[in-house]
Each structure stands twice: as structure tokens, then as C-alpha cells.
Amino acid sequence: MRMRAYSIIILFAVMSLTAISSGQSNPGEMPWIDATEDSDGGSVAILSTSANNHSSSSSSVSEAPILIEVYTATWCETCIPAEDALESETSELDVEIIKFHRHLFEIEDPFGNNNTEGRWLSRYGPASVAADENARTPPTVIVSGERMHIGSTPSASMTLAEEYRESLNLVTPPPISENSNLEITWDGQILDWTWTWEEEKSRCRTTCDSVTTDLTLLIRETSGDFLEGANGQGVYHNILRDAIPLEATGSKNIELPSAWDGDDLEFIFIVDWVEHPPESSLFQELPFENSLSVIVIVLLGAIIAPLIRKSDAGFNNPR
């Protein structure tokens, strides 16, 4: 009989904890999703320079503009209002805008390549698919490598421009020391570079144990005329022409893509960062971890403990 009573108590407690977990209130629906699936991370544009001039340059994280990555296509009519809204909100900000053009299985857009698609799919594809979207949906806007805005239909309570503004207002420095810097030398053929950095864990978005970074060279064309574009824009701006992963330090022969028109290729060096959380305890892994569930567990223990002691007393003193 006592075991049946214990079972009922335990069942009630589990049901209560489950209800607590499923009934937790969520903050209002955000007009974006996390851009990196299963990790806290982001991206920063660390340095930009013309690819057509021989140069030596350096830049630190403290000088880094906001990085905005856009997935688009020359036939995408719904991309136009999204890009117009983005332009209205960034025109007075220090930003680097990179536009990825569809390439795989694409017959209408001439600007992308396998490397540009590879970066998008590897970095942002999983989060897009997890949101029940295609991994390559134009238009998609990524702010600081952290917040992904998919499509051109705004939330019910705000305009598309207001969505982007809210997202831009949330931009904060990455968990990387402001003194971290990139130095490059480019002679028109050979690129030498050194990325020297330290983590700044006090800036982590969540509690983190460590931070890692990856350096990538993006080759951007300032603009390209393409009158055949089905969305009628005619001139396309900030076109990503190639994406090349780099080690922290190295030297590499860079083969520039042919400019679509003009002489306007640029190097944009970006740093992707990922936070790594500390190892979780078993209790932290429970889906119902919160203060109310802790209270329920304590009360459950207070109810069961006297019953167990009473049962033990009866067992140890048989009549």
C-alpha cells in the first residue's frame, strides 16, 4: 500500500515538473532566428582594402564595422523591398554589406560560385533548415552573424525596416579583445597575413568557457551591371565573388576572379567566432531546470522522507 502511495506521489511530481517545463512563458516572438545552429556565435568585418592596389594594412577589432550578409538573386523581386529597407536603416551606420548570389542549380544569376555557396550553406544553412525554410532562401539578411531575418514579410507589429533597426540596435562587441588585430600585405599576387587575438569572455552572449575564431577572406565587387536580371534592378551592389578560408597566419597566392565590369574588387576579411560553454552537470541538462521546479523537488523530498523513515521503522521492528 505504501509503495502505491509513493508511486502516486512520484507520478504527481513528474507531471508537475513537466507542466512547469511546458508552461514556461517565452519572451515575445522575435522577428529573427539565431543564425548559427546549436552554438552561440557571430561574425565581424575586421579589415577591408582594395584588391587592385598593392598595400600593407592593419586593423583592430575596436575599429570593426557591423557585418551584414545578404542572400539574394538577380531574379528575386521580393529581395528589392528587403534590400531597400536594409539600406534605409544602415545608410548612416558603419557597416560592411556582403551580398551572396545564388549559384548552385542556378541559370539566371551569374555572380556567385561554389565557394560563396559553400560558406553560406556551412555557416547558415543548418539554422535556416531548422526554421523549416530552404537553406538558400532569398532574401535572407544576417546581422553580425548572429540574427537571421528570412523573407520580406514583416512581423504583424512592425515594418521590415523596424525589424532591421531593432536587430541593428542589439549589435554588441564580440567576445574578442579590442586589441586583437589583423595585419596584411598584398602585392597583387601574394597575400601575407597575421591574425593576433585574445578572447574576452566577459562579452560572451552566454556563460562561456572559451572562444574560438576562424578567419575568412571575402572578395567583393562594388557593383555590376546586369540588365538581364529578371527583378529589373539592372545594377547590383556589394557582390560577393569569392570566399577563401584562411589560417590565423600564412601566405597565399590569391587568384582574383575577373571583375564583372570596372575595376572594383575589394578584400573583406571577416572573423567568425564561436562560444564554447562549460561542461554541464546532470541537473543542468534536465529540461525542467528552473527555480519553481527546484521548490517542487524540495517539497517532494520533504513528503517522501518521513514516509520512508516510517516504513523503515516498521521493517526493522517486525511484530
Which pLDDT does position 133 carry in this prediction?
77
* 3-class DSSP assignment, residue 35: coil
**Does some domain include residue 123?**
yes
Which pLDDT does position 21 carry in this prediction?
37
Closest CA to 167 of 138, 131, 143: 143
Which pLDDT does position 240 carry in this prediction?
98
Please report where in the chains the cell 593576433 appears, as a residue: 196
Which pLDDT does position 76 carry in this prediction?
98
Please report where in the chains the cell 560577393 appears, as a residue: 240
**Does some domain include residue 152?**
yes
Please report, in angstroms and rounded to a whole number, the separation of the first and last CA atoms in the chain.
18
The number of CA neighbours under 13 Å toward the Cβ of 17 is 19
* 3-class DSSP assignment, residue 87: helix
Amino acid at 201: K
Between CA 204 and CA 213, with CA 210 as vertex, the angle to 5 degrees is: 85
**Does some domain include residue 190?**
yes
Domain that holds residue 70: 33-276
* 3-class DSSP assignment, residue 204: coil
Which pLDDT does position 72 carry in this prediction?
98
* Number of helices and strands in the chain (H, E): 6, 13
Between CA 257 and CA 260, with CA 259 as vertex, the angle to 5 degrees is: 120
Closest CA to 139 of 73, 192, 187, 87: 73
Cα–Cα separations (whole angstroms), residue 90 to 150, 196, 230: 18, 29, 26
What is the rounded distance in angstroms from the CA atom of residue 52 to the CA atom of residue 187?
9
Could you say which residues of the chain have pLDDT below 70?
1-28, 281-319
Closest CA to 163 of 95, 101, 81, 41: 81
What is the rounded distance in angstroms from the CA atom of residue 293 to the CA atom of residue 239?
51
Strands 181-186 and 55-60: antiparallel
Closest CA to 252 of 185, 183, 182, 181: 185
Strand partners, 79: none
**Does some domain include residue 70?**
yes
- How many domains in the chain? 1
**Does some domain include residue 138?**
yes
**Dihedral angle sign, alpha carbons of residues 228, 229, 232, 233:** negative
**Does some domain include residue 3?**
no
Strands 95-101 and 66-72: parallel
Strand partners, 203: none
Instruction: Kindly state the DSSP code that residue 203 receives in the 8-state scheme.
Output: G
**Does some domain include residue 59?**
yes
**Does some domain include residue 2?**
no
| 148 Cβ contact list (under 8 Å, min separation 6) | 32, 33, 34, 35, 124, 127, 128, 131, 140, 141, 142
Closest CA to 69 of 89, 86, 94: 86
